[in-house]
Amino acid sequence: MDSIICSQNGALITITLNKPPANSYELNFLTALGNTIENTNQDPTTKVVLINSASEKFFCAGADIKVFGSNTVEQNKEMVVAARRVCHLISTSTKIFIAAFRGHILGGGLELAMACDIRLASQGNYLIGLPEIKLGLIPGNGGTVRLITLIGASRAMELLVTGNTINAVTAHQFGLINHLYPADTFGKDVLDYCKNLASGAGEAMASIKKFTLESQGMNLQQALQLETALVNPLYETPDGIEGFKAFIEKRTPNFK
């Protein structure tokens, strides 16, 4: 059974985590996921990548604690490096990554979702959190900085130092989740959202993602210079030309 399932629908690629019962990861799983994402990033026809789970109960429970406990320190460090690679490939990709979850999402699983650009979730009674402090650790795959960026220092501090979990409604209120959908329409709502986004201007979306990543920490003048450097080449792209033409002709643009 493949632990990573990949399928393509036009400009949308779906990567499904399929390692029962909880998609808990170890080195082989992370390597397969990282290689799949790397291949996806090299596909020029792809604009949007959806990461979801075959399980209704779990999106991802993070590192496999049994494996983590039996490993040597060096083996665990190797696993952490592989997890960081996955998050780095997502956050620095020119594609828009979307995490969609309807079940428990904990530790490294939440770090994976936070590395994505957009998070879509189902209503339901499941747990969301970073419990690493209960193992005497802190998140090691970007979870601390991304959680602070997404929900603010005060809320992030409490979740990190207590290791407590929150539910989907609270996560949505905090801004950790972009959209919270009814459970009975979740699959359709996610697919509709992703297909709509995948019909957009790919190069412009990639530029927006690049700006969002690189402008953090810049002063106003630096950010404006980066914005100018990113927008100028877009005027002469096929999508840029098509966008203006469609606006004048009062029709929906057909971005390639």
Residue corresponding to tokens 């697919």: 191
User: CA-to-CA distance for 46 and 153, rounded, in angstroms?
Assistant: 34
pLDDT reported for residue 1: 62
Q: How confident is the model at residue 184 (pLDDT cuts 50, 70, 90)?
A: very high
Nearest residue to 19 (alpha-carbon basis) of 53, 52, 49? 53
Asked whether 200 and 255 are in contact (CB, 8 A), the reply is yes
> Per-domain residue ranges for the chain?
4-198, 202-248
User: CA-to-CA distance for 117 and 109, rounded, in angstroms?
Assistant: 15
Whether the predicted pLDDT of 256 surpasses 90: no
pLDDT reported for residue 253: 92
User: CA-to-CA distance for 49 and 198, rounded, in angstroms?
Assistant: 9
pLDDT reported for residue 69: 86
User: CA-to-CA distance for 231 and 186, rounded, in angstroms?
Assistant: 35
Rg, Å, the chain Cα set: 19
Whether the predicted pLDDT of 118 surpasses 90: yes
Nearest residue to 191 (alpha-carbon basis) of 6, 43, 14? 14
Compute the average pLDDT of residues 212-234.
96
Question: Is 78 one of the catalytic residues?
Answer: no
pLDDT reported for residue 134: 95
Q: Which of 26, 111, 158, 203 is catalytic?
A: 111
Q: What is the pLDDT of residues 163-183, one digit of tens each?
A: 999 999 999 999 999 999 999
User: CA-to-CA distance for 221 and 48, rounded, in angstroms?
Assistant: 31
User: CA-to-CA distance for 124 and 100, rounded, in angstroms?
Assistant: 13
Q: What is the mean pLDDT of the chain?
A: 96
Whether the predicted pLDDT of 11 surpasses 70: yes
pLDDT reported for residue 15: 98
The structure's pTM equals 0.94
pLDDT reported for residue 68: 84
Compute the average pLDDT of residues 187-211.
97
Residues in the chain: 256
Is 135 or 173 the better-scoring residue by pLDDT?
A: 173
Q: Any alpha helices (H) in the chain, and if so which ranges?
A: 27-41, 65-70, 73-91, 108-115, 143-151, 153-162, 168-174, 186-198, 202-214, 220-231, 238-248
CATH 3.90.226.10 holds for 4-198: yes
Question: Is 132 one of the catalytic residues?
Answer: yes
Compute the average pLDDT of residues 136-143.
94
Q: What is the pLDDT of residues 70-105, one digit of tens each?
A: 999 999 999 999 999 999 999 999 999 999 999 999
Q: Which of 26, 132, 214, 236 is catalytic?
A: 132
Those residues with Cβ within 8 angstroms of residue 233's Cβ, 6 or more apart along the chain or in another chain? none
Those residues with Cβ within 8 angstroms of residue 48's Cβ, 6 or more apart along the chain or in another chain? 11, 12, 13, 95, 96, 97, 98, 194, 197, 198
